[in-house]
Amino acid sequence: MTERETQARENIIRQGDRSTQCCLVLDGLLARSKVLIDGTRQILSFEIAGDIPDLQSLHLEAMDHELESISPSRIAFIQHTVLRDLLRFHPRLSDILWRETLIDAPISREWLTNVGRRDGVQRLAHLVIEIWLRLKVVGKVNAMSFHLPITQEQLGDAIGLSTVHANRILQSLREKQLLSWDHGQVDILNLDALAELALFDPAYLHLKPALSGFAPKATSRT
Amino acid sequence: MTERETQARENIIRQGDRSTQCCLVLDGLLARSKVLIDGTRQILSFEIAGDIPDLQSLHLEAMDHELESISPSRIAFIQHTVLRDLLRFHPRLSDILWRETLIDAPISREWLTNVGRRDGVQRLAHLVIEIWLRLKVVGKVNAMSFHLPITQEQLGDAIGLSTVHANRILQSLREKQLLSWDHGQVDILNLDALAELALFDPAYLHLKPALSGFAPKATSRT
DNA sequence: CGACGCTTTGACCCGTTTCAACAATGGTGG
DNA sequence: CCACCATTGTTGAAACGGGTCAAAGCGTCG
């Protein structure tokens, strides 16, 4: 097991790579993304402390997407062989890691729904709440504020919008007094309104109930 | 283990359900989908013979999406308890099933990219090729033709478009002589052109190389 | 035959993209 | 310490893709 510091915008794993190790995010912010031949990019997820973005490489041969650092980060690498030995003798751990990889898919599906069926304002609101919740679970939020050092271009790539439009949507949410976003410092000013606007339902994150601490108004009357 | 025949448009598993069993598609066509509070729907994936759509329920408590039959289908149910007993004594099987669940995420990510970064024509082309390839692997295609009995409303829900626009895009692909689509009978008339148009790269399906039998022109010159 | 579900069409509207320019910021080297 | 350059954020105008609504074809089945 080795540890490493990355700079911002560093490529960690490339599409097509055949990994012999998994990486664990200790601190910082990474993103997984797909780059199409025409150069357009879709960010698939953000990876924060505690995430193991490429755990899938344990069973899938080639990486099907890129993994890059957004901000300077600290990551640990664990050899597949080591991990496999561990799993052989600790079946419980196997289940835990299996569950871990399972949560990838629900999040991707929610993002798919986000991009496919919500408009720009909703998409941004939804993303903000997701990140806030996930950061909260690992203790990286300060009440309603957190640090998300992404550019508006990256924001657009995450929610399937152009940079310019991402900017305009940010402004509209600021005008509505729903959030502030300045130099990567995000502040949720009205969580309930934001959640209702985004049609946010935290179920897809599969958090332990106690950790969620957030019962969205919008979905409680089903 | 029990077996069951479903009709078309039957709900198999509901969002929020806590399953005690997994289902295996023996024949037919199912879809997973999310329904937002405002009634809009996003289809997340199509499930064909050989798929185990809710294998995730083995480790995740509640379902985060719906599972419905599109056409009359045959499905088998296996109790979690039975499966868990099996896994305890056959660690190899555990790995195989783990790998199976892992492929969910890449497909969702590709769909996310599809909806987020491709235009309508590309989205439809991409979907058609994916289904064709997956059906081919399980021997359900006849050369370049296959059966995909979905309505244009469902098609729109899958690629994040309105029904009307899905219709118009279908027409444009027909006019370009790229495919024909009549009463659920799909015929790919020009695979290469379709793949290039869609920027299709089959890597995300994680098929064994021999099974793919398809090296898209568009990506081979990277 | 009539009803129903699905496909197709037209017209109009709106969200989003694109392009281009400009402002703010921060870092670099002279 | 300042001039310069590269990023990033912001704005406006015009164009376009896709959405919406409503009505009309079409096929199938009881």
* CA A208 to C1' C12, whole Å: 48
Residue type, B30: L
Cα separation of B86 and A5, whole Å? 42
Tell whether the model's pLDDT for residue B217 goes beyond 70.
Answer: no
* pLDDT bucket at B163, cuts 50 / 70 / 90: very high
* CA B183 to C1' C3, whole Å: 21
Find the residue closest to D21 using CA and C1' atoms.
Answer: B164
Question: What are the DSSP E strand ranges found in chain A?
Answer: 2-6, 11-13, 21-27, 30-35, 41-47, 66-69, 73-79, 145-147, 179-182, 185-188
Tell whether the model's pLDDT for residue B215 goes beyond 70.
Answer: no
Q: What is the mean pLDDT of residues B165-184?
A: 97
- Strand D contacts (Cβ < 7 A) comprise A 151-153, 163-164, 167-168, 170-171; B 119-121, 156, 160-162, 164-165, 169, 183
Per-residue confidence (pLDDT) for residue A208, from 0 to 100: 79
Q: Which two tokens stand for residue B39?
A: 């009634």
Instruction: Give the DSSP letter string of A31-75.
Output: EEEEE-TTS-EEEEEEE-TT--TTGGGGT-SS--SEEEESS-EEE
Per-residue confidence (pLDDT) for residue A212, from 0 to 100: 64
Q: Does A210 touch chain B (CB under 8 A)?
A: no
Q: Tell me the per-residue pLDDT of B94-130, one tens digit each, with 9 for 90 and over.
A: 999 999 999 999 999 999 999 999 999 999 999 999 9
- Determine if the pTM surpasses 0.85: yes
Cα separation of B188 and B164, whole Å? 22
Tell whether the model's pLDDT for residue A222 goes beyond 70.
Answer: no
Tell whether the model's pLDDT for residue A211 goes beyond 70.
Answer: no
Tell whether the model's pLDDT for residue B44 goes beyond 80.
Answer: yes
Q: What is the mean pLDDT of residues B25-39?
A: 95
State chain B's mean pLDDT as an integer.
94
Per-residue confidence (pLDDT) for residue B91, from 0 to 100: 86
Residue A179, min C-alpha distance to chain B (Å): 23
The conformational region for residue B214 under phi > 0 = left, psi -120 to 50 = alpha, else beta, is beta
Q: Which residue of A lies nearest to B158 if distances are taken between CA atoms? A: A116
Q: Tell me the per-residue pLDDT of B126-155, one tens digit each, with 9 for 90 and over.
A: 999 999 999 999 999 999 999 999 999 999
Per-residue confidence (pLDDT) for residue B219, from 0 to 100: 47
| Disruptive mutation site among A112, A199, A212 for chain B (greatest number of B CBs within 10 Å) | A112
Q: What is the mean pLDDT of residues A141-170?
A: 97
Q: Which two tokens stand for residue A3?
A: 């540890």
Q: What is the mean pLDDT of residues B6-13?
A: 96
State chain A's mean pLDDT as an integer.
93
Contact flag B111-A106 (C-beta cutoff 8 Å): no
